[in-house]
Structure formats: structure tokens, C-alpha cells
């Protein structure tokens, strides 16, 4: 049973699931080159059908999620287009009049510079006004059926949070092995921002709680903007900043958060009802230091999540937990959650935000239709390397088109690359293997370097990533060196850089560039040989030369851009950055003239 999963909102994506197994999954931003791409993932769908040599007639079901998306976001492509100043404008000119003064202004008038009605792909006749979710849904459905030439009777639609939960469940290594407790929490989707579900050993998912007040994500989003960063994007920077302050200096800010939101059993509640979040916190936090605000926000986030999860574990006696949804990207909160006595194991899937609900919806459609179609669902051995790939032939064909005065290339191997890394060179790695799914690069589309070199951070920040000075980088650590570098008492398998860990003394010597500069934690990727043998072997060669069983790993992109997808993207990234070396397929490409 072939199911095409589609998510056409924020971080649009498409996936192909066959009998419960993810065959391909692609974030639209990789192909459109527009980070957080909003809207119909046409390029991803085309790519998937093309790679799998399928026509839409051969697709049994299309699975989608989230009926309630307003036309104003489709029209403006808000999440992919808006700058920080646009988000401030949105607060001042749209949300303030609406939520504080009760006056409705026209969103599509305020942001008309982003709207092109001529190229808008949806039928405007079906949409009554900029807030008409229902009309937008009819237009989305019509557009999809027309573009794919697909019968709407074969379209399955699922709730936003049920899709988050299903993704967390079907990609967990404990799938059907143990009962699991699944939490979803995000900024909001289908009028909900958190759920708790029990997944029994036979695969049945039963929701036991649903909240619309679990506004941790929304509060985080407001503070991100108040601190001058991009909401629904740069929350991780606020989290990175938090580690630089302490409770003592952050009391005032902490009190503000503490007196706002609280946990109430499996639900959340407000101390006093709020009209809005942004202006509420702006008034109360004005004049306080940026890092004390970040600290206080992170502290309350950890406290609320831990209490909420503790309550659910105590009620159900299930200690193996999964968290999905945007808030699951808070690696520091995840560390606190994993450290609780109540928790046995914690799984955070790769890309737990909205980019993965196309996979969750596809799994729910599989469950719904499996018995009818007499299909047995395969145990989903989820492989995060489920994107596009390029063979050496394809890569060589492209490399031969490059200007020989600017680029040289030759065959290479892991031994030679490890030698260059040991000499302090920074190298972009574009492997022959499939591209990884989600926002974290897991070696196949990564920039790698010697993690023991402090100069590397400077080089990466200035010439490649144009990244914020306070943000840490992360390491890829060989599975066999895990205990040497990280304190992971529960032996929790952490393959996707989703949980931070305290580090050891040896880590301080071997991988200082892969630790948070202040609190020395690390959101490491543990590289298992069976998952990515070629990347494992490269780190092993580096270990043979240096004794260090890890590499610094940051995503292969310029800051603010999507991770590279194709050889062409890879070369362009080198051209527009200070990077000189690219290990692509079996070739080492060298930029012989400085870029730009």
C-alpha cells in the first residue's frame, strides 16, 4: 500500500510510505532553497514520484494533516518570507489592535508586498476572506486533486497533533516492543498545542489528554522576537544563550514567567488569563538583561515540561517516553527530562517539528487502511537517511561542467580526508548516501572539522556559518567512544542531536569545539556503524591519526539558508563562503580561487 504524505504548511514536506515503511521523505526547503518553505510541496512530490518511478495513479492514498490553516499565511508565505522587522510589524499592526484593542486590521493589506494573486496556486473563489480556514481547506483539496490528478475519495486527512504523535511512534526503535507514552507539544496546530497518548504493544494509539493552553512554544516564540531574533526559527539561539546566566541574576525575569503559566495535572493553566503573550511579556520584561530573560525562560520551560511529564508517567506508570512537535527541539529541556527518576528512556525523532507531519499522516493512513486492503504493516525500521542521493557518475558529470581555473577535483578516500582534517582543514561532506531528514545534518550533508581545535570555531563562524558567537557546535561521536566523552547514565540512544549531555574530562581535551563553551554540555550525534558505515569509517580514520573518536559536525549550508540538496547547491555554498574543500561522493573538490 503506497501512501504519499503531504504537509503543505510551515516547513512543507512530502514522503512516501509503503506498507508502513518510510521510503523517501523530503523537506520542500531543500529543493526550493527557501528555508521553512510554506505551501504545497510540489517539488518534493515530483522528486519522490520521479525517483520511485511512480505515477499518481499508482498511489493508493494521499495523506495530509492540519485542516485549519488560514489563507493569510498561504498568501504571504509568512514563515519563509518574514524578517524580524516583519514579525514586529505583525505584532504592532495586526495582533495589538486585534487582541488588545479589539480592532480588526487587514493582514493581507499590511503585508501586501509579499502577495502575488496572479501566481497564487489556490482557487480564490473558494476563499471568503483572509481568515477563512474552511475555504482554504477546500481550495487546498481542490488544488491537490487537480495537480496530482487524484480522486478526493482517496485523500485521508488527520489532526495536526495526532500526526505529530504518529511520527514519533512509528520511527521509535521501541515500536511495538513496549508500551510508550507519547507527548506532543508545539506552537499550535488544529487549535491544540499539546497531547499525551499511550501506545500499547500492539500498536494502538490512545490519546489521554489534549490541551490548548500548553503555550510553552508560543511564549518561547514571543521571547525570541522580543530579543530581536526570528520566531519559529531562532528559538534554539535563545536556548543557547540561556546557559550564560544563572538563577541569581535572573530572579526578576523568572518571577514574571513563574507567575504566568502553570501545570495542572495533564493540562496547563494560567495564573491570570492573558489577552496576548508578546505585549504581556514586553511590558513586564522591559529593561531586563537579554541573557537573564533567556535563562529564566529556559528554566521555566524545563520546570513546566518536567512537571507535566512526571504527572503523566505517574498516572500511567509508563516510563519510556517519546516527545514530538516543535518544542521537542529543546535539547536542554530534553536533558532534564531524561535525568528524571520517572523516565526510563527518551526518544526524540529527527525533525520533530511540522516538517515530519507528512510522515505521521502517512502512517495514520496506513493504520486506517491496512485491514481493509489486507496489508500487513512492516515494523518500521526508520532510517533518517531517507532523502535524495547522487551517484559518482552524476557527480562527475556536474563537476566536469565547472570552470577549471577555479575548481580542481580528483578521486579521494576517507584516509586522505581524515589526514586533511587532522591538519586543521575544514571540509564539506556530501556523501553518496541518501540525504538526512530534518534540520540536523547527520554526516551526509555536513561540514566537518577537527573538534579539538579552538581555531576551527573562529573559522567556521567567520567564513562559513556567519553564526552567532555564543552558539555551540556539535560533535559526531563514534558509538564505541560514547562513554569516553558523554555522561549518559541511562544509555539512551541519541542519534539525532536532540538531547544534550554533560561531558567528561576527556571530552574537554578531545572535543572542546563540540561542547557548549560555558556549561560544557554537548548535543552530540552518536554514529553507529550499522546506520552510516561510511561516515563511521571516516571518523575512525581520523581517530587512527589523532586518537580523537569524534568530528565537529555542522550542517552544510550558509547561515540562514537551507541545507544543500544537490551537487550544484554544494558548489554554490563553497563559492559563497570561505570553504575551500568539498568531499563529494568519491571526489575531493578544491576551490583554487577564493569565492564570492
Binding site for Fe ion (CB under 5 A): 186, 189, 354
d(CA 528, CA 135): 48
Least gap, CB of 381 to Fe ion (angstroms) = 25
d(CA 39, CA 326): 18
Least gap, CB of 323 to Fe ion (angstroms) = 12
Grid cell at residue 181: 507514552
Cβ contact 311:277 at 8 Å: no
Least gap, CB of 490 to Fe ion (angstroms) = 27
Task: Classify residue 207 by its DSSP letter.
Answer: E
Least gap, CB of 325 to Fe ion (angstroms) = 5
Least gap, CB of 195 to Fe ion (angstroms) = 11
d(CA 13, CA 9): 9
Least gap, CB of 188 to Fe ion (angstroms) = 7
Q: By C-beta, is 161 or 299 nearer to Fe ion?
A: 161
How far, in whole angstroms, is CA 520 from its chain's centroid? Answer: 23
Least gap, CB of 66 to Fe ion (angstroms) = 8
Q: Cβ neighbours of residue 135 under 8 Å, at least 6 residues apart? A: 71, 126, 127, 128, 129
CB neighbours of residue 415 within 10 Å = 13
Residue 147: φ, ψ to 5°: -65, -40
Least gap, CB of 213 to Fe ion (angstroms) = 16
Cβ contact 527:539 at 8 Å: yes
Least gap, CB of 364 to Fe ion (angstroms) = 15
CB neighbours of residue 24 within 10 Å = 21
d(CA 296, CA 291): 9
Cβ contact 451:512 at 8 Å: yes
* Residue least distant from Fe ion (Cβ): 186
Grid cell at residue 360: 505521521
d(CA 583, CA 412): 8
Q: By C-beta, is 79 or 522 nearer to Fe ion?
A: 79
How far, in whole angstroms, is CA 581 from its chain's centroid? Answer: 27
How far, in whole angstroms, is CA 475 from its chain's centroid? Answer: 17
Which residue from 590, 445, 471, 456 is spatially nearest to 532, judged by alpha carbons? 445
Q: By C-beta, is 189 or 567 nearer to Fe ion?
A: 189
Which residue from 143, 139, 144, 146 is spatially nearest to 71, judged by alpha carbons? 139
Least gap, CB of 78 to Fe ion (angstroms) = 15
Q: By C-beta, is 320 or 355 nearer to Fe ion?
A: 355
Q: By C-beta, is 25 or 486 nearer to Fe ion?
A: 25
Q: By C-beta, is 334 or 503 nearer to Fe ion?
A: 334
Least gap, CB of 561 to Fe ion (angstroms) = 23
Q: By C-beta, is 67 or 258 nearer to Fe ion?
A: 67
Q: By C-beta, is 326 or 387 nearer to Fe ion?
A: 326
Which residue from 146, 152, 227, 199 is spatially nearest to 320, judged by alpha carbons? 199
Least gap, CB of 326 to Fe ion (angstroms) = 6
Q: The sheet that has 21-27: what strands, in order across it?
A: 21-27, 13-18, 2-7, 61-65, 155-158
Element (H, E) at 324: strand 320-324
d(CA 504, CA 484): 7
Burial class (CB in 10 A: 0-12, 13-18, 19+), 400: exposed
Least gap, CB of 378 to Fe ion (angstroms) = 26
Burial class (CB in 10 A: 0-12, 13-18, 19+), 273: exposed
Q: By C-beta, is 184 or 260 nearer to Fe ion?
A: 184
Q: Cβ neighbours of residue 168 under 8 Å, at least 6 residues apart? A: 182, 184, 322, 323, 324, 328, 347, 349, 352, 360
Q: The sheet that has 180-189: what strands, in order across it?
A: 205-211, 192-199, 180-189, 320-324, 345-347
Amino acid at each position: 500500500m503506497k501512501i504519499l504524505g503531504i504537509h503543505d504548511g510551515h516547513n512543507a514536506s512530502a514522503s512516501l510510505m509503503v506498507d508502513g515503511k518510510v521510503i523517501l521523505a523530503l523537506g520542500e526547503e531543500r529543493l526550493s532553497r527557501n528555508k521553512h518553505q510554506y505551501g504545497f510541496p510540489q517539488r518534493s512530490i515530483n522528486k519522490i514520484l520521479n525517483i520511485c518511478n511512480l505515477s499518481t495513479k499508482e498511489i493508493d492514498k494521499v495523506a495530509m494533516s492540519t485542516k485549519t490553516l488560514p489563507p493569510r499565511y498561504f498568501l504571504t508565505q509568512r514563515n519563509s518570507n518574514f524578517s524580524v522587522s516583519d514579525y514586529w510589524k505583525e505584532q504592532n499592526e495586526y495582533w495589538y489592535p486585534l487582541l488588545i484593542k479589539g480592532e480588526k486590521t487587514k493582514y493581507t493589506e499590511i503585508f501586501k508586498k509579499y502577495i502575488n494573486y496572479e501566481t497564487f496556486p489556490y482557487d480564490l473563489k473558494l476563499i471568503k476572506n483572509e481568515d477563512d480556514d474552511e475555504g482554504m481547506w477546500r481550495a487546498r483539496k481542490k488544488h491537490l486533486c487537480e495537480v496530482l490528478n487524484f480522486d478526493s475519495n482517496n485523500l485521508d486527512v488527520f489532526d495536526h497533533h495526532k500526526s505529530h504523535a504518529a511520527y514519533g511512534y512509528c520511527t521509535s526503535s521501541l515500536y511495538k516492543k513496549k508500551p510508550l507514552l507519547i507527548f506532543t507539544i508545539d506552537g499550535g496546530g488544529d487549535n491544540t498545542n499539546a497531547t499525551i497518548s499511550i501506545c500499547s504493544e500492539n500498536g494502538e494509539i490512545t490519546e489521554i489528554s489534549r490541551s490548548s493552553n500548553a503555550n510553552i512554544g508560543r511564549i518561547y516564540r514571543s521571547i525570541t522576537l522580543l530579543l530581536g531574533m526570528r520566531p519559529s526559527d531562532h528559538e534554539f539561539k535563545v536556548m543557547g544563550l540561556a546557559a550564560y546566566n544563572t538563577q541569581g541574576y535572573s530572579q526578576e525575569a523568572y518571577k514574571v514567567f513563574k507567575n504566568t503559566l502553570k501545570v495542572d495535572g495533564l493540562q496547563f493553566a494560567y495564573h491570570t488569563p492573558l489577552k496576548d503573550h508578546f505585549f504581556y511579556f514586553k511590558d513586564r520584561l522591559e529593561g531586563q538583561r537579554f541573557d537573564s530573560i533567556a535563562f529564566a525562560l529556559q528554566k521555566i520551560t524545563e520546570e513546566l515540561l518536567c512537571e507535566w511529564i512526571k504527572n503523566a508517567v505517574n498516572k500511567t506508570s509508563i516510563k519510556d517516553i517519546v516527545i514530538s512537535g516543535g518544542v521537542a527541539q529543546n535539547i536542554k529541556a530534553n536533558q532534564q527530562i531524561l535525568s528524571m527518576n520517572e523516565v526510563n528512556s527518551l526518544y526524540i525523532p529527527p525533525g520533530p517539528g511540522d516538517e515530519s507531519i507528512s510522515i505521521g499522516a502517512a502512517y495514520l493512513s496506513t493504520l486506517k487502511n491496512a485491514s481493509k486492503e489486507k496489508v500487513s504493516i512492516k515494523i518500521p525500521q526508520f532510517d533518517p537517511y531517507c532523502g535524495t542521493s547522487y551517484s559518482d557518475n552524476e557527480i562527475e558529470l556536474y563537476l566536469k561542467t565547472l570552470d577549471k581555473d577555479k575548481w580542481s577535483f580528483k578521486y579521494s578516500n576517507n584516509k586522505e580526508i581524515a589526514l586533511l582534517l587532522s591538519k586543521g582543514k575544514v571540509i564539506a561532506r556530501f556523501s553518496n548516501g541518501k540525504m538526512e531528514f530534518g534540520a540536523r545534518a547527520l554526516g551526509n550533508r555536513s561540514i566537518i572539522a577537527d573538534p579539538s581545535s579552538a581555531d576551527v570555531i573562529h573559522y567556521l563562524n567567520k567564513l562559513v556559518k556567519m553564526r552567532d558567537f555564543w552558539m555551540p557546535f556539535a560533535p559526531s561521536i563514534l558509538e564505541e567512544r560514547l562513554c569516553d566523552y558523554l555522561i549518559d547514565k541511562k544509555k539512551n540512544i541519541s542519534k539525532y542531536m536532540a538531547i544534550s549531555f554533560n561531558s567528561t574530562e576527556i571530552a574537554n581535551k578531545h572535543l572542546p569545539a563540540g561542547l557548549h563553551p560555558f556549561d560544557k554540555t554537548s548535543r552530540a550525534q552518536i554514529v553507529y556503524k550499522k546506520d552510516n558505515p561510511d561516515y563511521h569509517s571516516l571518523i575512525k580514520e581520523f581517530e587512527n591519526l589523532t586518537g580523537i573518536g569524534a568530528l565537529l559536525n555542522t550542517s552544510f549550508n550558509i547561515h540562514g539558508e537551507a541545507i544543500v540538496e544537490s551537487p550544484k547547491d554544494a558548489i554554490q555554498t563553497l563559492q559563497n563562503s570561505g570553504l575551500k574543500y568539498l568531499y563529494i561522493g568519491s571526489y575531493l573538490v578544491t576551490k583554487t580561487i577564493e569565492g564570492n
